[in-house]
Structure 1
Amino acid sequence: MKLPPLKALPVFEAAARLNSFSAAAEELSITQSAVSHQIKQLETYLGERLFWRSGRKVALTDEGRQYLDAIGSALLQIERASEQLLGHEESRLRLSVFSSFAVRWLAPRLPDLRRLHPQIDLALEMSSENPVLSDRVADCFITIHRDSRAYSYDLLYEERLFPVCSQDYWQRIRRELGRDTEPERRDEQPIEPEQMARFPLLSTHSIYDRQGGDWEAWFEEAGMKLPASSRLLHSSHMLLSLEAARFHQGIALTNDYMLSTRKDSADFVRLPAHSVVTGDKFYFAWKTSRRRERGIQTLRRWLVDEAIRGGLRSGSAGSRHQEL
């Protein structure tokens, strides 16, 4: 077996992750010259330049980036395997997750995760966009794309949008629709799309990557176009639209996980109207080569169980608790 200089590999990983030889030296408790020496030794062995150097700044070359992606996972596996044999049960994991999913669904559940699995030390990396699947970004991900063949995926949720507003705004809607003369009922008469268009519609740009795309899809589901007379109030993110709805500014389209656990869910009313499936499916993703890591699989099973228990997915969706 022909291996590169093994002492140089953790030095290379630290320098690449921190984009600094001096920061890598501090983390590894060695001198900066020792870092430079190890990197030079590795570059000589590989016959490729791994870093571009400009004064105190360093940046990975394309070859360096490819090499980091290839060896980063292997180094993590060696660390995890050693910790298990040494009896160190703690699993340090970085989970990259959409900010709305993290704030509205995951964060309220984290105390239960810590209680059930105190050995997992979970750090959240919040993202406003779909994350790049790479060990450099995180150890595991919640993503809507399954475009990397190096990763495995477990379904958590298939998104659907439905209209909501505040309790006070719901009473206003009932008054304007002439329903306030009758007692409110659980089987309230559905609101027709033409009636919905009479009120301000809070739109989230990020769902369909265009202004008004969410409400266009909602009206299209009913077989009609978004009326030209509709008053759209635009936000970049669903969290912002939901906050606007909380403060009685109109009707927002939201999804199940946004209202699944927070105590303030009682502030909102789900209007008696149809929903629309966006086509986005949320998956827990992990690198297939790391499928034996106990921490990743424990987190995966817990997330799937929580998604089933909270009604985001059915127990039969996907492959539940498969042995890996």
Structure 2
Amino acid sequence: MQKQLPPLGWLRTFEAAARHLSFTAAARDLNMTQSAVSQQIKSLEAYLGQPLFLRRPRALELTGAGISYLPVVREAFRTLLRGTRAVTGAQQNAVQVQCNITFAVNWLAPRLPMFQAEHPSVQLNIFTELWEPREMAEGAAVEIRFSLRPSDTVRTELLRSDHYYPVCAPGYEVSLDTLQRTPLYDCSNLLSNWQNWIEDQGLIWEKPPITYSTTYLVSLSVAMAGGGLCLTHDTIARDLIDEGRLVAPFEYRAVVPEAYYLLLSPQAEESPGAIAFAEWVRREIAKTFSG
């Protein structure tokens, strides 16, 4: 049988390249060089006697053979994973969770003791991202994703739509008249931004300087320190406002184009811990905003 199968490493490289449609991203995932990934794919294609990818100038596409082969390879890895866990006695309720770092710190972490009290046998491994990933991380069972367009490759459901608005430290003096002379902070590359919030109210936007960061954690921290105003949304700021660490000085709140989605990988259906965690997230999100 071994002589009829390609090396396992080649198959793993193929799965990563197909998941990202990028040799560079696959190399980053696998801690390999891009040339090593390319060479392994060529070796696998030679072994199979047909191409798996179409090499476009700036992108990869799966060929018909690649499209057919990918689910077979993925299912084989899932079978190996289940069998290995059974043999080694690995904890069946260990759940890998993926989410962005601000959600993890501001919403998830303060509530984790409640989940652990309800499900003491479930071990969570939490992986955080700064930017929205193209796909779920390898091995992740559950993901909470803040996105315009959720994934269409796994089971996806809307978790929460939100509103965004400025916040600052209690006692910080600001008005709409002085707003554009106030230090402003924001998370970069989002549609819920200062320009849209101001223009939605029919105000003139004079493009004042704004300090951007790759995560809301930075701008929220500056605002809490009294350094100015930052934009935020309810999911990551509600607790900070309830605790009196931030205030919302203006009434207007705009709809966030992005939303929070709950993503479940195929292996989540076979994991009682993943199912329990997903149900707990749904319940806690609803409870947080039921008032």
- Provide the TM-score with structure 1 as the length reference: 0.63
**Alignment pair present for 1:232 and 2:209:** yes
Consecutive unaligned residues of structure 1, counting only runs of 5 or more, are 21-39, 51-61, 174-190, 316-324
Matches within 5 A, 1:193-272: 193-208=176-191, 214-226=193-205, 228=206, 231-236=208-213, 237-261=215-239, 265-272=243-250
- Whether the 8 Å CA contact 1:10–1:75 is kept in 2: the answer is no
CA distance in 1, matches of 2:284, 2:121: 18
- Whether the 8 Å CA contact 2:161–2:260 is kept in 1: the answer is yes
Aligned to 2:273: 295
Aligned to 2:19: none
- Distance change >3 Å, CA 134–CA 195, structure 1 → 2: closer
CA distance in 2, matches of 1:103, 1:194: 33
Partner SS, residue 134 of structure 2: coil
RMSD over aligned Cα atoms = 4.2
- Distance change >3 Å, CA 217–CA 265, structure 1 → 2: farther
Aligned to 2:99: 97
CA distance in 1, matches of 2:238, 2:96: 24
CA distance in 2, matches of 1:207, 1:150: 23
- Distance change >3 Å, CA 70–CA 206, structure 1 → 2: farther
How far has the Cα of 1:272 moved from its partner? 3.4
Query: What whole-Å deviation, never above 9, does each CA across 1:243-291 have from its counterpart, x for those lacking one?
Result: 1111212121111122234599422112132011121011110135753
Q: Which moved further from structure 2: 230-239 or 11-20? A: 11-20
Aligned with 1:110 (options 62, 87, 112): 112
Q: Percent identity?
A: 26
- Distance change >3 Å, CA 289–CA 106, structure 1 → 2: closer
CA distance in 1, matches of 2:157, 2:196: 27
How far has the Cα of 1:203 moved from its partner? 3.0
How far has the Cα of 1:154 moved from its partner? 2.3
Structure with bigger gyration radius: 1
- Distance change >3 Å, CA 274–CA 296, structure 1 → 2: same
How far has the Cα of 1:105 moved from its partner? 1.0
- Distance change >3 Å, CA 11–CA 231, structure 1 → 2: closer
Query: What whole-Å deviation, never above 9, does each CA across 1:201-252 have from its counterpart, x for those lacking one?
Result: 22332323xxxx71111112212332x2x64331223221111111212121
- Whether the 8 Å CA contact 1:166–1:246 is kept in 2: the answer is yes
- Whether the 8 Å CA contact 1:246–1:268 is kept in 2: the answer is yes
Partner SS, residue 168 of structure 1: coil
Partner SS, residue 149 of structure 1: coil
- Distance change >3 Å, CA 153–CA 82, structure 1 → 2: same
- Whether the 8 Å CA contact 1:165–1:252 is kept in 2: the answer is yes
How far has the Cα of 1:48 moved from its partner? 6.8
Aligned to 2:164: 161
- Whether the 8 Å CA contact 1:160–1:278 is kept in 2: the answer is yes
How far has the Cα of 1:4 moved from its partner? 9.4
Consecutive unaligned residues of structure 2, counting only runs of 5 or more, are 17-28, 33-42, 53-61
Query: What whole-Å deviation, never above 9, does each CA across 1:62-83 have from its counterpart, x for those lacking one?
Result: 89x9767653355335644886
CA distance in 1, matches of 2:3, 2:282: 40
Aligned to 1:307: 285
CA distance in 1, matches of 2:233, 2:98: 20
- Equivalenced residues, count: 257
Aligned to 1:131: 133
Aligned to 2:38: none
CA distance in 2, matches of 1:122, 1:152: 20
- Distance change >3 Å, CA 272–CA 135, structure 1 → 2: closer
Partner SS, residue 250 of structure 2: coil
